């Protein structure tokens, strides 16, 4: 096996950058494989085009006659682009995307055939849903599920197939995907935010949640990755001693991008341009062989679709360049993990960013209204935010190497903290003319139109305000953005509804003027949500103690974090906002617990296999070499051999101790796994894997990593950290 490792290293040394041709400007490539407004105008009838645009902008339904016209236009466009098949492209609760391809081809008798695609095939398909996670919504033998066309997300061509974005629901109507609840949450935030925005501008008729994600990832050479069973099956290194040099010199961050990587990025960006994914930024991240790309922000639903598509495109593009892309949040211990920062804001149909400070007191009061309500929403539902980013893989990242901790808090920076402190002193009830003037001119009016970007001032904050948006940093790099975006938009929508009720009540019952009522309500929100605001070091023991005093949750593991999803408070919220039913919420809870259990189970099996079939045999092989050496020294030096063989004898003993520890720990881990496997409750089973099985991982790893330092490098079968992280 050691020869495989060295052959892979040798193969990597021979790599050269794969040429990438760029012949036209990015702007000319953008969206060429997307059935966007330009393509629709070219291929659709006017009647069909108007109907689709009304569906996108106003949520109007498309009748079957129009659906046939749209399908015909899509087919003609797709075939003109070389497509031969179509698929309903959806996002089941696996975290990945799914598709089943059907050819446009149909026989028509007489030995003849034609290309066919009609409205019924566009609007709905019936994929076999039996093997997708359902959380007990239906029996396994009841395979029926439906995908339904989402006209708000344009169709696109990928790999010669027309991909039609859809939602995925069960036979009984419950959502079985990440998209349906997101669309409902976006409708809720639109309704609630529009009503509040009308306090400031009667022309606002629609508010759109926007999202700009930042995708972090690692790239390692494909040949090297294939020598590591843990990277291939678990997505991370389950063992391996840290390299002497890691990220401590900060020499990788924003450094010169390696040639092979640059060409991969260029190739990826060209693919993204064709698919309408507006990627803009690329750079080295902090850890060796870690990188990031980020797009221009989009409407949240489109951004979620684009990120899901991007990860698939990245996999395929990386393969062409002989790379393996790693999305795991913590593929390598001891260095930074990878996140997917979700930059979220709200935009009106009049072109205003509701989280952007303005040039007048009125605009800044509008900004403060949405700013403070968002903070209040996070304060009320911080456990739900934590649950929305929980996963077996993200547990390794949260609270380590600059990643946010498991304690949810909001960072707003010094400038806005001062503003909120002053607003907290607003008088109750009606304001005197002097108070109104002072508030509008000296407090609200002096908020700078461009706030200092506080992003790098507190990298450990899970939820930070960064000038004109909030950044949810706790999202993991593997995650589907749909889940945290569903939760965030739902809780803010709920909060804005409560705000409007309170303001309207003060206006009608207390006879306060609109501005006075808004100031009064915001004052109370600032006071009641003070506990969630934190400007300091998220890693400190002092903050953990202080957070406990404030009553903030500290759910460090996924099984404990997920409990918030099925609390009475959460279920009531989702049902009231018409985002998810109780059945849908509980199904998701069970699915996520089962996924957690299976991932830990897989890691345990892989770790046991590597420890016993790679590490121990290699250590014994080296130990035998040492034993032969000691025997030879004894033959030469006789009874005095121990003087010259003392180091070898100590090494033989040390290796034996580590081998014994590994073997006993693996056996104990297997026994705990057997006990956990007979538990029928998804919640108790996940807790058993978390508390009883998983702790053995670090113990087994410790002894394996010690052996890596002791055993002859020529014998070691597993590619090492220094090779995976530093061979370009």
For residue 689, the domain's CATH number is 1.20.120.1560
Q: Is 21 a domain residue?
A: no
Q: What is the CATH number of the domain that holds 101?
A: 3.10.20.70
Percent pLDDT > 70 in the chain is 95
Helix, strand, coil fractions of the chain, as percent rounded to 5 = 55, 15, 35
pLDDT band per the 50, 70, 90 thresholds, residue 609: very high
> Which tokens in the block code for residue 4?
């495989």
Q: What local confidence, expressed as pLDDT, does residue 723 receive?
A: 92
pLDDT band per the 50, 70, 90 thresholds, residue 141: very low
Residue written as tokens 């709200």?
Answer: 346
Same domain (yes/no): 481, 453: yes
Q: Is 143 a domain residue?
A: yes
Quote the CA–CA distance of 354 and 372 in Å, as a whole number: 12
Q: What is the mean pLDDT of residues 394-416?
A: 88
pTM: 0.94
Around 520, how many Cα atoms within 13 Å sit in the side-chain half-sphere? 21
Strand partners, 167: 148
Quote the CA–CA distance of 241 and 706 in Å, as a whole number: 8
pLDDT score of 257 more than 60: yes
CA-based R_g, the chain, Å:
29
* SS3 at position 471: strand
Quote the CA–CA distance of 190 and 688 in Å, as a whole number: 42
Same domain (yes/no): 377, 455: yes
Q: What local confidence, expressed as pLDDT, does residue 601 receive?
A: 98
H-only helix segments in 321-356: none
Same domain (yes/no): 387, 340: yes
The helix (run of H) or strand (run of E) holding residue 465 is strand 463-465
- If one compares 282 and 208, the residue with the highest pLDDT of the two is 208
Q: Is 37 a domain residue?
A: yes
Q: Is 102 a domain residue?
A: yes
pLDDT score of 455 more than 50: no
Same domain (yes/no): 201, 172: no
Quote the CA–CA distance of 672 and 658 in Å, as a whole number: 21
pLDDT score of 569 more than 90: yes
3: left (phi over 0), alpha (psi -120 to 50) or beta: alpha
pLDDT score of 346 more than 80: yes
Q: What is the mean pLDDT of the chain?
A: 90
Q: What is the pLDDT of residues 163-187, one digit of tens each?
A: 999 988 877 778 888 999 999 999 9
Q: What local confidence, expressed as pLDDT, does residue 140 receive?
A: 46
- If one compares 593 and 116, the residue with the highest pLDDT of the two is 593
Strand partners, 471: 343, 464
- If one compares 572 and 92, the residue with the highest pLDDT of the two is 572
H-only helix segments in 465-513: 482-509
Q: What is the mean pLDDT of residues 141-161?
A: 82
Q: What is the mean pLDDT of residues 537-543?
A: 82
Q: What's the N-to-C CA distance of the chain in angstroms?
A: 23
Same domain (yes/no): 511, 370: yes
Q: What is the mean pLDDT of residues 130-136?
A: 66
pLDDT score of 373 more than 70: yes
Dihedral in degrees, nearest 10, Cα atoms 546, 549, 555, 560? 170
Domain containing 671 equals 595-725
Same domain (yes/no): 535, 610: no
Same domain (yes/no): 109, 170: yes
Q: Is 585 a domain residue?
A: no
pLDDT score of 50 more than 60: yes
Residue written as tokens 């309903």?
Answer: 88
Q: What is the mean pLDDT of residues 562-582?
A: 97
Q: What is the mean pLDDT of residues 400-420?
A: 88
pLDDT band per the 50, 70, 90 thresholds, residue 127: low
pLDDT score of 142 more than 60: no
- What is the DSSP secondary-structure string of 120-182? HHHHEE--B-TTS--TTSS-TT--BEEEEE-TTS--EEETTEEEEEEEEEETTS-B-BSHHHH
| Choice among 96-100, 245-249, 587-591 with the minimum mean pLDDT | 245-249
pLDDT score of 406 more than 60: yes
Are 335 and 247 in contact by the 8 Å Cβ rule? The answer is yes
Same domain (yes/no): 418, 547: yes
Strand partners, 533: 410
pLDDT score of 401 more than 90: no
Are 248 and 286 in contact by the 8 Å Cβ rule? The answer is no
pLDDT score of 672 more than 80: yes
Strand pairing of 161-170 and 85-89? parallel
Quote the CA–CA distance of 726 and 728 in Å, as a whole number: 6
pLDDT band per the 50, 70, 90 thresholds, residue 290: very high
pLDDT score of 594 more than 50: yes
Strand pairing of 105-109 and 112-115? antiparallel
- What is the DSSP secondary-structure string of 212-249? EEEEEEEEEEHHHHTT-HHHHHHSS-SS-PPPSSSSTT
pLDDT score of 539 more than 80: no
pLDDT score of 457 more than 80: no
Q: Is 1 a domain residue?
A: no
Same domain (yes/no): 149, 294: no
| Choice among 299-313, 632-646, 704-718 with the minimum mean pLDDT | 632-646
* Cα 630 from chain centre: 54
Q: What is the mean pLDDT of residues 694-704?
A: 97
Same domain (yes/no): 508, 564: yes
Same domain (yes/no): 263, 142: no
Q: What local confidence, expressed as pLDDT, does residue 376 receive?
A: 98
DSSP 104: S
Q: Please say which residue of 554, 580, 606 terminates a domain.
A: 580
Quote the CA–CA distance of 309 and 275 in Å, as a whole number: 9
Strand pairing of 463-465 and 410-411? parallel
Q: Please say which residue of 557, 580, 603 terminates a domain.
A: 580
Q: At what angle do helices 695-710 and 641-677 cross, to 10 degrees?
A: 160
pLDDT band per the 50, 70, 90 thresholds, residue 147: confident
Say how many domains are in the chain.
Answer: 3
pLDDT score of 64 more than 50: yes
Q: What is the mean pLDDT of residues 598-617?
A: 97
Q: Is 11 a domain residue?
A: no
Are 682 and 594 in contact by the 8 Å Cβ rule? The answer is yes
- Residues 6+ away with beta carbon under 8 Å from 454: 411, 412, 413, 464, 465, 466, 467
Same domain (yes/no): 424, 314: yes
pLDDT band per the 50, 70, 90 thresholds, residue 93: confident
Going through 9-159 in order, the beta strands assigned E by DSSP cover: 85-89, 101-103, 105-109, 112-115, 124-125, 145-149, 156-158
pLDDT band per the 50, 70, 90 thresholds, residue 459: low
* SS3 at position 337: coil
Quote the CA–CA distance of 688 and 692 in Å, as a whole number: 5
Are 323 and 194 in contact by the 8 Å Cβ rule? The answer is no
CB atoms within 10 A of CB 627: 14
Q: Please say which residue of 548, 580, 612 terminates a domain.
A: 580
Sign, CA torsion 689/693/696/701? negative
The helix (run of H) or strand (run of E) holding residue 547 is helix 541-550
Are 607 and 230 in contact by the 8 Å Cβ rule? The answer is yes
Q: Is 340 a domain residue?
A: yes
Q: What is the CATH number of the domain that holds 477?
A: 3.30.590.10
Quote the CA–CA distance of 508 and 518 in Å, as a whole number: 13
pLDDT score of 248 more than 70: no
- 293 CB-contact burial (10 Å; exposed 0-12 / middle 13-18 / buried 19+): buried
């Amino acid at each position: 096996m050691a020869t495989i490792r060295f052959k892979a290293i040798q193969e990597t040394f021979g790599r050269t950058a794969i040429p990438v041709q760029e012949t036209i400007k990015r702007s000319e490539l953008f969206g060429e494989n997307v059935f966007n407004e330009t393509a629709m105008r070219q291929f659709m009838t006017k009647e069909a085009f108007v109907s689709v645009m009304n569906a996108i902008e106003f949520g109007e339904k498309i009748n079957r006659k129009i659906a046939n016209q749209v399908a015909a236009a899509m087919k003609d466009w797709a075939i003109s682009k070389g497509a031969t098949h179509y698929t309903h492209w959806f996002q089941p609760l696996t975290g990945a995307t799914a598709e089943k391809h059907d050819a446009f081809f149909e026989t028509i008798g007489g030995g003849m055939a034609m290309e066919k695609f009609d409205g019924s095939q566009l609007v709905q398909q019936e994929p076999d849903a039996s093997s997708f996670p359902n959380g007990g919504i239906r029996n396994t033998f009841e395979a029926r599920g439906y995908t339904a066309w989402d006209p708000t997300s344009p169709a696109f061509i990928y790999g010669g197939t027309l991909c039609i974005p859809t939602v995925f629901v069960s036979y009984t109507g419950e959502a079985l995907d990440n998209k349906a609840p997101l669309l409902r949450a976006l409708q809720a935030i639109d309704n609630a935010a529009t009503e509040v925005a009308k306090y400031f501008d009667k022309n606002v008729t629609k508010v759109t949640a926007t999202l700009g994600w930042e995708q972090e990832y690692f790239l390692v050479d494909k040949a090297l990755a294939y020598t590591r069973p843990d990277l291939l099956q678990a997505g991370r290194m389950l063992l391996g001693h840290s390299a002497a040099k890691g990220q401590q010199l900060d020499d990788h961050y924003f450094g010169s991008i390696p040639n092979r990587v640059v060409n991969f990025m260029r190739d990826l960006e060209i693919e993204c341009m064709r698919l309408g994914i507006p990627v803009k930024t690329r750079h080295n991240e902090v850890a060796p062989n870690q990188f990031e790309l980020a797009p221009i922000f989009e409407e949240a639903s489109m951004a979620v679709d684009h990120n899901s598509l991007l990860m698939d495109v990245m996999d395929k593009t990386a393969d062409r360049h002989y790379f393996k892309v790693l999305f795991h949040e913590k593929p390598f211990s001891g260095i930074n993990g990878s996140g997917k920062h979700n930059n979220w804001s709200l935009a009106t149909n009049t072109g205003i960013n509701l989280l952007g400070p303005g040039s007048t007191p009125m605009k800044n009061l509008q900004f403060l209204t949405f700013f403070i309500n968002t903070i209040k929403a996070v304060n009320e539902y911080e456990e739900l935010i934590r649950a929305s980013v929980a996963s077996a893989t993200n547990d390794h990242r949260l609270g380590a190497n600059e990643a946010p901790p498991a304690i949810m808090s909001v960072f707003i920076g010094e400038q806005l903290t001062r503003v909120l402190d002053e607003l907290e002193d607003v008088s109750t009830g009606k304001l005197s003319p002097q108070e109104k003037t002072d508030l509008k001119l000296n407090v609200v009016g002096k908020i700078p139109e461009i706030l200092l970007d506080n992003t790098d001032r507190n990298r450990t904050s899970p939820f930070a305000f960064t000038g004109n948006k909030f950044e949810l940093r706790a999202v993991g790099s593997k995650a589907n953005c749909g889940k945290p975006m569903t939760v965030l938009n739902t809780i803010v929508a709920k909060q804005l509804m409560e705000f409007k009720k309170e303001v309207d009540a003060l206006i009608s019952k207390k006879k306060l003027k609109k501005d006075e009522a808004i100031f009064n309500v915001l004052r109370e929100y600032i006071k009641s949500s003070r506990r969630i605001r934190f400007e300091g070091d998220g890693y400190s023991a002092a903050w953990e103690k202080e957070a406990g005093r404030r009553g903030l949750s500290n759910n460090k593991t996924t099984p404990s974090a997920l409990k918030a999803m099925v609390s009475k408070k959460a279920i009531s919220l989702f049902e009231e906002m018409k985002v998810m039913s109780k059945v849908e919420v509980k199904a998701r809870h069970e699915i996520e617990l089962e996924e957690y259990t299976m991932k830990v189970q897989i890691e345990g099996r892989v770790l046991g296999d590597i420890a016993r079939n790679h590490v121990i045999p290699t250590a014994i092989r080296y130990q035998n070499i040492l034993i032969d050496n000691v025997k030879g020294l004894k033959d030469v030096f006789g009874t005095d051999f121990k003087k010259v063989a003392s180091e070898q004898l100590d090494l033989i003993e040390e290796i034996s101790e580590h081998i014994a520890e590994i073997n006993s720990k693996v056996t104990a881990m297997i026994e705990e796994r057997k006990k956990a496997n007979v538990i029928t409750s998804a919640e108790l089973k996940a807790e058993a894997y978390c508390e009883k099985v998983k702790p053995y991982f670090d113990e087994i790893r410790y002894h394996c990593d010690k052996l890596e330092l002791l055993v002859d490098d020529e014998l070691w079968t597993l590619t090492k950290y220094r090779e995976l992280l530093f061979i370009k």
